[in-house]
Structure 1
Amino acid sequence: MLALRCLKSLDRPVLGAVCKRARLISSSSTPLQEAGIPWFVDPSPITRSYDNRPLPPHIPATQRNAPSIPSDAPDVLKQLHVKLLESPHLDTSHLVVSPAVLPAPGPPLPLRAPHGRRNRGGTYPGESQYDETGVGVWSWVIMAQVKEGTENRGAIESVVRLIRKTLLKMEPVVPLAPKRRTDGSEWVLIDAGNFAIHVVSKGAREKYFNQVDW
């Protein structure tokens, strides 16, 4: 009602000039309209403050390079190595593909014959084919360490799922043991026949694999 009263209070020539000016404005095209941008859109770039947020403390600012993979490694290991490099949970500086390294033999046990009613307590283990050939159970080993602080946040389980999914999609399919629960583990071993994959935390690697020369 107030707008109508204002229009009635204007003189007819003034009202005609206002209407003519409005028609000119509506008919004239602006550069934004010519570019297909509506009048209510601001074309100026938007600065997003969350792009400059710092990384969490357990994620390094720069990702270190992974050790090189041996040229004579099987193709299945090379393909798996490429997939593991894409995982955001792994510390790639400790992603190692290496021929299996046998640990140094310990001191021999004193020979003792079995005794007792159940014939137990003997220390003679018998002969093994690995003692003669000098090789272990696996020919190749992959060591994959998750980033420090993520082992109890599902990082190890995520890497294990990635490994199983990658190996089961290969041609021919790599036979794997049935999946089992690994919640809360800091070291998961995946036996893939000719090679093994160790998915470990930093603490487990320093505790169990500190003496291994990769």
Structure 2
Amino acid sequence: MDSDILANRRIPQQERGERRVADLLEAAASELSEVGYDATTMKAIAKRAGASIGAVYQYFPNKEAVVGALRTQYANEMEGRWINLEEATAGLSIKERTESFVDMMVSFMEEHPAYITILDAPVDSKRDKKTRGQLRERLARVFCARRPAISVEQAYLVASITLQMIKSMNALYAAARHRDRPEIVREYKLAMTAYLEKRLIS
């Protein structure tokens, strides 16, 4: 009975609990972006959030869980942006849509500095695979709608390669000096446009 009560307390079901989790994740994002993954500690997250260390552990058993929650939060927000972008660019060419998509990704990284920090941070692999699978499925559906003749298998392959290109762009963008980032973005726009035009038009 006691274990059931404790388990229920760890789930932020009430509004105050949800606010506490949001505050902790915001503090974690700030800490991660400023000092990096290795230097970030649960104690530092608690201090930045103005919470006790016990409050942090109430919701997150370790730093990896915090990063996993941030990744899920970012993935959900990114999916919403993708949906809006697809609607806004429905009548545009593949080149225009690809460039808009890359610009959206760059904007997201600039608005969420912690996203760059946690790109290669350890997380729950099962959850991360699930998130990537959802993104791949969404892209595959978009490609099928763009080119009805494409097979489902081919659409998934193109989606997988596109996501890998995005991942590599993110990594290069994160490691580059600020003055070099615009050139990286331009090159990836060219590469992704050429690839998608070949697979979705030819």
TM-score between both structures, scaled by the size of structure 2: 0.28
Q: Which has the larger radius of gyration?
A: 1
Question: Which of the pair is proportionally richer in helix?
Answer: 2
TM-score between both structures, scaled by the size of structure 1: 0.27
